[in-house]
């Protein structure tokens, strides 16, 4: 009797195309609910992407009809970690990695984003939603508090009071409202979503990668700094940007009235 080889679908699918690395959460039967393997693999893929010159933009999206339904609730019982230990082991390193990554991270929210999946959706540098996507701060339904950065991000986007209401009532926010509330930057039609995301990401990948890295660094620091500190930080990082070949290319292209070419093999 011959036995078929057992093949396991990867929990994170990776695809590199035109300098855009797409990381797809791949547990569609559970709306990409997160288990430890998914969270640790996603974090590791992001860290590896940071070191790869061929990757200029990272996209995080979901397979199937969901983006991410948060913690896999079937994976919790019998866990040998406290909640605190688990957050420090899985979700917190993921969110910190996205924030600290020296490349733009786009969250391409293709469907429902719930719980820690909502936090992940909000954690992108740019958030692109499909028309049919939605977000639910679902934690209070299971009598937990919002985590994975939602208590930090959401009030900065919608204010304390709206954030508290969304968290307390676990109301579903649909794409049209999310756009008005600043939870996403763009909404694309469902049927062209993946192509629209790729086209958007490729546009971003053609921008000056080194300058964008420094811009992200300055903006992230400024979120928790005073104006004086931000001015000092800008002065330091502007020198780093000005000393880079990208700046010379940008100025040269302007003077020559030609498009700047910011993509070079050596990065
Ligand atoms: O360290 C720690 O553990 C603490 C960290 C916590 C972080 C968190 O994220 S806590 C919040 C956990 N997430 C949830 O509570 C969400 C639970 N899911 C839902 O409320 C609903 O599924 C949705 C509102 C997201 C979507 O509803 P709907 O009607 O579109 O889909 P559905 O039918 O409920 O789900 C489809 C399938 O996915 C279903 O499986 P089945 O019946 O077809 O075999 C469902 O059980 C499964 N699924 C959805 N969410 C999860 C899940 N399975 C495991 N865990 C889930 N979170």
User: Residue of the nearest CA to atom 54 in ligand 1?
Assistant: 72
pLDDT higher at 79 or 199: 199
Name the superfamily (CATH) of residues 12-205: 2-enoyl-CoA Hydratase; Chain A, domain 1 (3.90.226.10)
Summarize pLDDT for 97-144 with one digit per residue, the tens. Answer: 999 999 999 999 999 999 999 999 999 999 999 999 999 999 999 999
- Examine domains 12-205 and 209-256 and report if their fold is the same: no
Ligand 1, pocket residues at CB < 6 Å: 30-31, 33, 69-74, 76, 83, 86-87, 112, 114-116, 136, 138-139, 141-142, 144, 147
Give the position, in ligand 1's atom list, of the atom nearest the Cα of 73: 55
CATH 1.10.4160.10 is right for the domain spanning 209-256: no
Domains in the chain: boundaries: 12-205, 209-256
Average pLDDT of 76-88? 91
Round the average pLDDT of the chain to a whole number and report it.
96
pLDDT of the residue at 131: 98
HEC assignment per residue over the chain: CCCCCCCCCCCEEEEEECCEEEEEECCHHHCCCECHHHHHHHHHHHHHHHCCCCCCEEEEEECCCEEECCECHHHCCCCCCCHHHHHHHCHHHHHHHHHHCCCCEEEEECCEEECHHHHHHHHCCEEEEECCCEEECHHHHHCCCCCCCHHHHHHHHHCHHHHHHHHHHCCEEEHHHHHHHCCCCEEECHHHHHHHHHHHHHHHHCCCHHHHHHHHHHHHHHCCCCHHHHHHHHHHHHHHHHCCHHHHHHHHHHHHCCCCCCCCCCC
């Amino acid at each position: 009797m011959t036995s078929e080889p057992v093949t396991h679908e990867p929990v994170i699918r990776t695809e590199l195309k035109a300098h855009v690395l797409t990381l797809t959460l791949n547990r569609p039967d559970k709306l990409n609910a997160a288990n430890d393997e998914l969270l640790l693999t996603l974090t590791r893929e992001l860290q590896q992407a940071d070191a790869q010159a061929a990757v200029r933009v990272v996209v995080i999206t979901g397979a199937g009809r969901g983006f991410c339904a948060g913690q896999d609730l079937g994976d919790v019982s019998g866990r040998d970690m406290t909640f605190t230990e688990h957050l420090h082991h899985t979700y917190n390193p993921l969110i910190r990695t996205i924030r600290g990554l020296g490349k733009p991270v786009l969250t391409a929210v293709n469907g429902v984003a719930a719980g820690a999946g909502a936090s992940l959706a909000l954690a992108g540098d740019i958030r692109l939603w499909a028309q049919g996507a939605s977000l639910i701060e679902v934690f209070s339904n299971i009598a937990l508090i919002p985590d994975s950065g939602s208590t930090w991000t959401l009030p900065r986007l919608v204010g304390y009071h709206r954030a508290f209401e969304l968290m307390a009532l676990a109301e579903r926010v649909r794409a049209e409202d999310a756009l008005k509330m600043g939870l996403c930057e763009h909404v694309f039609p469902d049927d062209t979503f993946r192509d629209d995301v790729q086209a958007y990401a490729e546009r971003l990948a053609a921008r000056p990668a080194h300058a964008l890295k420094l811009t992200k660094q300055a903006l992230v620091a400024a979120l928790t700094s005073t104006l004086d500190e931000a001015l000092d930080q800008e002065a330091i990082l502007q020198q780093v940007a000005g000393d880079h070949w990208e700046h010379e290319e940008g100025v040269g292209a302007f003077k020559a009235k030609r498009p700047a070419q910011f993509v070079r093999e050596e990065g």
